[in-house]
Amino acid sequence: MIDLHTHTLFSDGELIPAELTRRAAQIGYRAMAITDHGDFSNFDLIIPRILRVADDLGKAWGLIVLPGIELTHIPPDQIEAAAVEARRLGAKIVVCHGETIVEPVAPGTNLAALAAGVDILSHPGLITEQEVKLAAARGIYLEITTRKGHSLTNGHVAAMARRFGAPLVVNTDSHSPSDLVSLAMAKNVALGAGLSEEEFEQTRRNSEALVKKALG
C-alpha cells in the first residue's frame, strides 16, 4: 500500500508522526506521505518538523515516509503562491484539498490547484469536464479516497477521469488509526467507485511514480 494523503497532530489528526508511521508499517504500507492541513499561517511550523523526522521514521519502520502538505481552504487566488512556498520549505508531495461536497470549499479551488501544478487534487467532488481535462493535460493526479464523506463522489471522479484520461491515485486521507486501510480494502473502494482491476493497478503504478519523483 502507498498512501500519499495522511494527517497527524500537526493539524487535525489524532497521532504523532511516529505512531502514524508505525501503524502504517504494521498493516503493510510500503510508502506514505504526511500531508497535514496547511496555509500560510502554519507551513513553516508543519513542513520542517515532518521533514526533520521523515527519513529516520522510514528507516526505523521499514517504509518510505515523505514530508508533504495539504493546501486547505486557501483562497483560490493564493493557491499557486502557497504551493511554491510549501515546496520551498521542503514538501515533497503537495496535495490540494479539493471541492468535496461535504465542506464549504471555495468555488474555483479545483481549477486554481490544477493551474498551480500541485501533485494531487484530493477528493475533488463534482469535478468539471474543464478541470479533468486540465488534470489530464498537466499530469496531475485526482484522488479516489477511502475517507467517509469525501468518498461520496468517488464514482463521479472515476468516470470523469476515465472519460478524459486523467490519472488517479487511491489515498486514505487518514486522521485516526481506524482510517488507515489495507491494500485489499483500498482495492475494494476503488472497485466500488467503478474502476476495473487493471485501472486499480494503474493507480498503484501512479502512486509509485509520485514516490519516485519525490525521491528525486
- What pLDDT shows up at residue 86? 98
- What pLDDT shows up at residue 204? 98
Comparing CA positions, the residue from 27, 57, 47 lying closest to residue 181 is 27
- What pLDDT shows up at residue 167? 98
CA 120 distance to own-chain centroid: 5
Phi, psi of 71 (to 5 degrees): -65, 120
Residues 6+ apart with CB under 8 A from 214: 33, 66, 92, 93
Domain that holds residue 42: 2-215
**Averaged pLDDT for residues 180-192:** 98
- Report the domain count for the chain: 1
Share of the chain above pLDDT 90, in %: 100
pTM of the predicted protein model: 0.98
Kind of pairing, strands 120-122 and 64-71?
A: unpaired
Kind of pairing, strands 31-34 and 64-71?
A: parallel
**Averaged pLDDT for residues 59-69:** 98
- Residue 216: band (very low, low, confident or very high) from pLDDT cuts 50, 70, 90: very high
Q: How many helices (H) and strands (E) does the chain have?
A: 8, 8
Locate 16 and state its grid cell: 504523532
* CATH code of 181's domain: 3.20.20.140
- DSSP secondary structure of 4-17: --B--TTTT-SS-H
CB 98 within 8 A of CB 168: no
